Amino acid sequence: MAPQNLCVLPCSKGVDGDADPLDVRYNVIQWVHRSTRGWSYGSSITDPRTGEIIKGHVSLGSLRIRQDFLIAQALSNSPFKDNDDNYDELLELALARIRQLSAHEIGHTLGFTHNFAASTNSRASVMDYPHPQLKIVNGEIDFSEAYDTGIGEWDKTTVAYSYAEFEKGTDEKQALNKILSEASGKGLRFMSDKDARPLGGAHALAHLWDNGKSASEELENVLKIRAIAIENFSIENIRKNEPNTILEDVFAPLYFFHRYQTEAVSKMIGGLDYNYALKGDGQKTVETLERDKQVKALQILLKTLDANVIAIPEAKLSLFPPRALGYPRTRESFKGRAGISFDVLSAPETASDMTLGLLLHPERASRLIQQKSLDTRQIGLQYVLNELVENTIEKDLKDPYLHEVQKSVNYRVLYHIMNLAAHKEVHPQVNAIANNQLRSIKLYLKNTDDLDAREMIRRVDYFYKEFKEFKVIKSPKIPDGSPIGMDCMN
């Protein structure tokens, strides 16, 4: 599907001997070096009089191939144990991503927009944002199908709809509608940026960097893969004579490996299923996601707030000494509150803050109130808060390290409930339920003879004293994650 007269730069001698990238006669893919992570772009020059696409122009950032290589390096079991050159499998994953990305950007030059629901249709489009799709085979992580090859069923649909030429005398409108109704008949779904990007989004299927027909089942899979990779993680994940500091950087994308699938699952809670339906096209317009699916999504999401899941195992902590001279922390690194030493409490604090910001997003909270009012079987906000508190603040862990990690998570839970209690842009019913939850939490804490219980009570009391001024205390910032192996924002 590449345009004709394609020129991949640098090309001093192009298609006709001297192609200039600015020459409107040539479609161009330029490979751009950048100093930091960045997006790639696929744009086109169109004739303003007719809308005809005259030239496609793609910019691919070269540096971001590191991101995928790093993910593969972190997920591999001791790749550099015997040989520093043992990177073919890692490189193959990164190159598979670049091949897929090239097709994605060329898709934009042809006029195609993102389809963020395509990953739920067996990776039906190169116009989705792909997360590496991994499997567990005999207890080991299998990379062989991390990225898809070729175009998918949805791409064939958009190419046919946009570029098919019909025989003379064909009713073109009818023929075009037939292409869409056949796609719909095959179960193909289409949802784009405005529904998939917002953190408060509601579509159960439209997500960036996710996989699987069901977001919640895939999160279970992702958490299992993450656990296996963390268990295997060792000094053998870096090459000989590299500073140990590098190990911390390799570990960062593995620790946050669940971040995008978590975001996908959060949108199932208070979620909807809908289409860009037209009058008479037979598509489903809008339905609230069934209670059972919302309950399951919440149960799996709560695992990301469980110290047993989110704590870095004690046995791994000696892998992360203070950083070497010349290797400072960057936007790609873990952030913390413990100065030069690796902060084992900040990593789970950051991860749990991500989950809570999604789960207790003000728009989601308001939507839950609405759904419960229309169908009393729906879960509603009160249920979500009860389950959340029961699985965090009321959890009792005996292991001192895990207990401490859970406390770091629990403070975040408290702040995000306070946020809903004071938020001005939610329905007041949300404020009412969140304030009631804070009263219940206080009662529970009063019965717990614990220093942190007293501290949490103090913070709740202070919250009501300074109610108007409340802002969620910031957690250490999550390392940059997007784009994974580059992508585009257009």
User: Would you tell me which residues interact with Zn ion (CB under 5 A)?
Assistant: 488
Q: How far is the CB of 332 from Zn ion (least distance, A)?
A: 22
Q: How far is the CB of 33 from Zn ion (least distance, A)?
A: 20
Q: How far, in whole angstroms, is CA 79 from its chain's centroid?
A: 26
Q: How far is the CB of 236 from Zn ion (least distance, A)?
A: 36
At 119 the three-state DSSP class reads helix
Whose Cβ is closer to Zn ion: residue 131's or residue 367's? 131
Residue 97 in tokens: 């991503």
Query: Which phi and psi (to 5°) does residue 337 adopt?
Result: -115, 10
Q: How far, in whole angstroms, is CA 419 from its chain's centroid?
A: 23
Q: How far is the CB of 60 from Zn ion (least distance, A)?
A: 12
Whose Cβ is closer to Zn ion: residue 384's or residue 488's? 488
CA distance 385 to 375: 18
Whose Cβ is closer to Zn ion: residue 100's or residue 133's? 100
Whose Cβ is closer to Zn ion: residue 41's or residue 255's? 41
Q: How far, in whole angstroms, is CA 260 from its chain's centroid?
A: 2
Q: How far is the CB of 101 from Zn ion (least distance, A)?
A: 9
Looking at the chain, the number of H-run helices and the number of E-run strands are 16, 8
Whose Cβ is closer to Zn ion: residue 134's or residue 488's? 488
Whose Cβ is closer to Zn ion: residue 19's or residue 488's? 488
CA distance 358 to 260: 11
Q: How far is the CB of 116 from Zn ion (least distance, A)?
A: 10
Whose Cβ is closer to Zn ion: residue 209's or residue 463's? 209
Residue 305 in tokens: 């707030």
C-alpha to C-alpha distances, 336 to 47, 247, 307, 345, 346, nearest whole angstrom: 52, 17, 17, 8, 5
Dihedral of the CA atoms 240, 243, 248, 254 (nearest 10)?
A: -20
Residue with smallest beta-carbon separation from Zn ion: 488
Q: State which amino acid sits at residue 49.
A: R
The gap between the terminal CA atoms of the chain, to the nearest Å, is 20
Q: How far is the CB of 114 from Zn ion (least distance, A)?
A: 5
At 262 the three-state DSSP class reads helix
